[in-house]
Amino acid sequence: AQHDPLTPLELGKAARGMLLDGAGRLLIYQFGGIKQAVRNEEDDWDVSPLMFPGYDVLPKALSADGKVMLLEGCRADERVASPERVNQRHVWISTRKEGDWGTPELVPRVGDVSYWNLAMSPNGRWLAWVEFDRGEDGNTITRTRLRIMRRKRKRWGEPENVLDQKGY
């Protein structure tokens, strides 16, 4: 069967940031905003915008069951405090019930952290990221940590170091 593309064919424009659930029935992607595509009974895709009013966030990971999405960004009314903090973003979790995504829930921030290479486990209960400490010049990486954090019931635990080393 011939299927219509999920995005219009426009020169120079491509979808990016694709996240697919384990069953292949829910696709989250960016194309002129965040989109959600749900496979329907006819095996076609129902595409709709996915908005989080009051938040300037981007999807980073999707649980295998398609019920938990990891988001990164800020509230829409937040401003970066200084140029040095440009990479300092918040991490949020949104859960899906009966097809609707909930208001993003802030994952507890661990000190003055910039999250890099953010990842989530397939069940949505573990987060992993890389943290860098920088030298006085603001560029030189003096320490690298790979950290994980687990959600138990409704609370996030303390981050644990998987790797902690000097330099990059």
Q: What is the pLDDT of residues 82-117, one digit of tens each?
A: 555 555 678 999 999 998 999 999 987 766 666 788
The token pair at 78 is 């937040």
**Which has the closest alpha carbon to 94: 46, 59, 49, 48?**
59
Which stretches of the chain score pLDDT less than 70? Answer: 1-4, 79-88, 110-114
pLDDT of residue 124: 93
What backbone torsions phi and psi does residue 83 show, to the nearest 5 degrees? -60, -30
pLDDT of residue 85: 52
pLDDT of residue 135: 86
pLDDT of residue 87: 54
